[in-house]
Structure 1
Amino acid sequence: MSTRSTHIAPDADASIRETDNDAAVARLSAAQKGYLHDPYIRHLVPRAHLQQPRPPLINVGTYVRGAAIDALVEQWLQIADKKTKKCQIVSLGAGSDTRFWRIANGTHKDTLATYVEVDFPEVTTRKAMSIRKSKELGAILGGDIQGGTALHAGKYHLLPGDLRMGPTALSTLLTGILDSSLPTLLLFECVLVYMVPSASDAVLRWFVDYFSDAKTPLGAVVYEMFNLEDAFGKVMVSNLKSRNVSIPGAEPYRNLEALSQRFLSTGFNTAHSETLREIRRTWIAPDELERLSMLEMLDEIEELELVLEHYAVSWGLAASGADASWGGWGLGKK
C-alpha cells in the first residue's frame, strides 16, 4: 500500500470567478438602495435576502459603471433600430450580468436578434441553474430552455468557454450562432485585465476579422481598472494579490491613451476612453447626481474620486464602409 499522499491541484481561476460574486452583490446592494433599477439581479445572487448592503462608496461606483455601459448599449440599440436593423450583443466574461433580461423587457427587445454570454463553465453552470429556478427569468426567455453547462433559449445563448484559449476556441464556440452581417456589440466588464495582453488582443482581432468581410459595424466596450502605478493603485494591486487575484492585463494600460490604443492596434477604426471620475462629473446629469446624493450620506468624496480615477470605460468601433450613423456612437456630455 502506497503511503504517498495525493494532492489536488489548486483551482487557479477560483479567485477570479469569485470577483463575479463581489460584483453581483454590489449591484444587488445598489439596486436595493435605489441607485439603479434591476429587478432581476436578486435571482442570480445566492441568498440575496441575507446579503448585507455595501458601503455608499461602492454603491456610487457601481451606479456610475452601470450608467455608462447602459448608455453605450442603449445607443447601439437605438442606432440599429433607426436603421431598421437587427443587432447582436456578445458579453464575454458575463458572470451574473442581467442585461439580457433588461433588454428583453425593454423598448428595444425586437431590435435584438441574438444575445450571447460566455464565461467559465463553473459560472455558466451556476447561472443556468439559477435561470431554471427562477420563474421570472425563465418566463422572459420563453420557449424551451435547453442545456446544462450551456443554455440556449430563443435568442439567448449562455456558453461555457475560456477566452484565453485563443481564436480557434472562439471560432468553435461562436460560429453558427453569430451572424456576420448584423451590427454586433462586444462587452468586456472586468475581463481583459485578467488576461495577458497577447491573449486579449487575439480575442479582439478575431472579432474584427469575423465581421470585416461583411463590412458590418462592430463595437466593443471595456470596463476595467487601470492607472495602477501610483500609491493608490499599488494598494489596489496588493489587495487583489492577498486574494490570489493577479491582473496581468493591467500593466500595459497606465493611461487613457493606452486603453484607446488597444482598440486601434487590433483593427478598430476609432476609440475613446474615460475614467469613471470624469464620467460622473461630465456625463451624469446634475439632477441625477442630486437624486443620488439623497439616497445615502457620502462623506468620502475625495476617496470616491480617487477610486473612480482608477477605473475606466473604453469603447472602440470597427465600421469601415458602414453607414456614417455608427460614427456617432459613444458617450458625450449631457
Structure 2
Amino acid sequence: MHPPTPVNRSERAYDSDAAVRQTDSDAALARLSAVRKGYLNDRFISSLVPRAQLQPLRPPLINIGTYVRSGAIDRLVEQWLELSKSEGQLCQIISLGAGSDTRFWRLMEGPWKEQLGAYFELDFPDVTLKKAMTVRNPRNGLSAALGASELDLGGQALHSSRYHLLPCDLRKPPADIFPGLFKDHLSPALPTLLLFECVLVYMSPEASSALIEWFVDFFSPSIQISTPGTLGGMVYEMFGLEDAFGQVMMNNLRARNVSLPGAKPYPSLESLPARFLSRGFTSAKALTLRNIRSSYIGPSELERISRLEMLDEVEELNLVLEHYAITWSVMVSSSAATVSPWNEWGLRPVEHRPD
C-alpha cells in the first residue's frame, strides 16, 4: 500500500472551503425537499439545484427543521420591509454567504417588491460565478426579475438596478474588500438588514467581529451623513455544542472536514445577543428553533404541518431544534433609541395553546 500523499496547508484550506460550500448544497436540497412535500412555497429553488427532479426527499426531521427556520426568517424580513414602509423609506438587504438562497426572487413576486431598494448577495467567487450563470440562463426564469443586468469581474459578479451578486471571501478584512465591492450601490442612509444564515459559525470570532464592526461603522453618524439608516442583523446558526448531543453534531461535521470555529464563544442562548450588543447595537434577542416551533407558530399552521408526513423522532427533533437559534438585533441612533419603531422588530409569540 502506498503512503498517503502529503497535503500542504493551502490544499487543506481548499478542502475545508469546499466542505463548507457543500453545506449550502445540503441546505438547498433540504429546501427543495420541504417545498416538494408542501411545507414551503418556493418555485425558484429547483432552478438552483442541479437535476432537481432526481433529488431524493429528505426525512421529516429535516423537512420540519427547514420549515421552522425558513418561516421565522421570512417573518423577520417581511417585518423589516413593513417598518421601512411605515418610515417612508426603501430598504436594503445584504445576504452574506447567500449561496443558493432564493429570497430576492420570492420578494420580487410578492407584496414587498416596491419596498426593496437594493438586494446584495455575497459569497465565495466560485459560488457567485455558478449562481450568475444560472440566473442569466433564460431557461431558469430567474433573469426576468432583474430587468437589465450585466456581468462583472469575469462573470463572478452580476448587477441590475436592485440586485447585486458580489464575490468575496468574508474572512478577509472587510476594509480591504467592501468599499470596492459595494462602490456606489450601498447607501448608508437607508434601513439595512444583514442576513447571516449559517455563515458566521464557520468563521473565526475575530473575522466575524470585523465583519459586523465594518457595517456598524458604515451606518454610524459621520461628516458625510448625520442621520444614517437603521441597521439590523439576523443570524441563524447552531450553538451550545458542548453538551453530548452537540458533540455528536460536531463529530459528524468533522468527518466531513467541516469545523465550527465561530461556535465556541456562544455556548448558551443567552450569549448569542452579546455578539451585537457588544458592538453598538441597541437591542438584540435570540430564540431556539424549538422555542419558535412551540410558541411562535399558530395552531392552524401546526395542524397543517402535522398532516404532511408522520414524524416518529419527536425527541430527536427537539434535540436538534434546541441546538439551532435565530438572533435578531437593531442599531438605531442614540437620540431615537428609546422611541424608535424599529424596537418593535422581532418575532412575537402566538396565543398560548394548551399541551
**Counterpart residue type for residue 325 of structure 2:** A
Asked if residue 326 in structure 1 is aligned to residue 342 in structure 2, the reply is yes
Whether the 8 Å CA contact 1:118–1:158 is kept in 2: the answer is yes
Shift of 1:84: 1.7
Q: Which deviations, in whole Å up to 9, do the C-alpha atoms of 1:280-328 show, x marking residues without a partner?
A: 0010111101000000000111110100000000011001245611110
TM-score normalised by structure 1 residue count = 0.96
Name the CA distance, whole Å, in 2 between partners of 1:7 and 1:59. 37
Shift of 1:130: 1.0
* Secondary structure at the counterpart of residue 144 of structure 2: helix
Whether the 8 Å CA contact 1:146–1:153 is kept in 2: the answer is no
Asked if residue 296 in structure 1 is aligned to residue 309 in structure 2, the reply is yes
* Secondary structure at the counterpart of residue 28 of structure 1: helix
Name the CA distance, whole Å, in 2 between partners of 1:250 and 1:144. 38
2:231 to 218, 222, 225: 218
Whether the 8 Å CA contact 2:157–2:166 is kept in 1: the answer is yes
* Secondary structure at the counterpart of residue 13 of structure 1: helix
Shift of 1:240: 0.3
- The root-mean-square deviation of aligned C-alpha atoms, in Å, is 1.5
Q: Which deviations, in whole Å up to 9, do the C-alpha atoms of 1:93-126 show, x marking residues without a partner?
A: 0000000001111101111000000000011011
Shift of 1:91: 0.2
Asked if residue 59 in structure 1 is aligned to residue 63 in structure 2, the reply is yes
Name the CA distance, whole Å, in 2 between partners of 1:175 and 1:71. 30
Q: Which deviations, in whole Å up to 9, do the C-alpha atoms of 1:190-235 show, x marking residues without a partner?
A: 0000111111011111101101113321000000000101100000
Name the CA distance, whole Å, in 2 between partners of 1:146 and 1:128. 8
**Counterpart residue type for residue 150 of structure 1:** A
**Counterpart residue type for residue 190 of structure 2:** L
Asked if residue 146 in structure 1 is aligned to residue 159 in structure 2, the reply is no
Name the CA distance, whole Å, in 1 between partners of 2:242 and 2:34. 29
Q: Which residue of 1 aligns with 2:30?
A: 26
Name the CA distance, whole Å, in 2 between partners of 1:7 and 1:279. 43
User: Which sits farther off after the overlay, 115-124 or 163-172?
Assistant: 163-172
Name the CA distance, whole Å, in 2 between partners of 1:39 and 1:297. 25
User: Which sits farther off after the overlay, 125-134 or 200-209?
Assistant: 125-134
Shift of 1:237: 0.3
Give the ranges of 4+ consecutive aligned residues of structure 1 lying more than 6 Å apart after TM superposition.
5-8
Whether the 8 Å CA contact 2:149–2:158 is kept in 1: the answer is no
Q: Which residue of 1 aligns with 2:206?
A: 198
Name the CA distance, whole Å, in 2 between partners of 1:267 and 1:93. 23
Name the CA distance, whole Å, in 2 between partners of 1:215 and 1:140. 29
**Counterpart residue type for residue 202 of structure 1:** A
Asked if residue 49 in structure 1 is aligned to residue 53 in structure 2, the reply is yes
Pairing 1:308-319 to 2, within 5 Å after superposition: 308-319=321-332
Q: Which residue of 2 aligns with 1:83?
A: 87
Whether the 8 Å CA contact 2:288–2:323 is kept in 1: the answer is yes
TM-score normalised by structure 2 residue count = 0.90
Shift of 1:135: 4.3
Name the CA distance, whole Å, in 2 between partners of 1:212 and 1:91. 20
Q: Which residue of 2 aligns with 1:132?
A: 136
Q: Which deviations, in whole Å up to 9, do the C-alpha atoms of 1:76-98 show, x marking residues without a partner?
A: 00111122210100000000000
Name the CA distance, whole Å, in 2 between partners of 1:127 and 1:90. 16
Gaps of 5+ in 2: 222-226, 351-355
Shift of 1:258: 1.0
**Counterpart residue type for residue 64 of structure 1:** V
1:164 to 167, 171, 177: 171
Name the CA distance, whole Å, in 1 between partners of 2:178 and 2:288. 30
Using the aligned pairs only, state the percent identity: 57
Distance 1:209 1:76, change over 3 A: same
Whether the 8 Å CA contact 1:119–1:161 is kept in 2: the answer is yes
Asked if residue 208 in structure 1 is aligned to residue 216 in structure 2, the reply is yes
Gaps of 5+ in 1: none
* Secondary structure at the counterpart of residue 95 of structure 1: coil
Q: Which deviations, in whole Å up to 9, do the C-alpha atoms of 1:260-289 show, x marking residues without a partner?
A: 111111111110000000000010111101
Pairing 1:95-110 to 2, within 5 Å after superposition: 95-110=99-114
Name the CA distance, whole Å, in 1 between partners of 2:161 and 2:180. 20
Shift of 1:173: 1.8
Q: Which deviations, in whole Å up to 9, do the C-alpha atoms of 1:12-65 show, x marking residues without a partner?
A: 311001110000000000001000100000000011011000000000000000
Whether the 8 Å CA contact 1:91–1:118 is kept in 2: the answer is yes
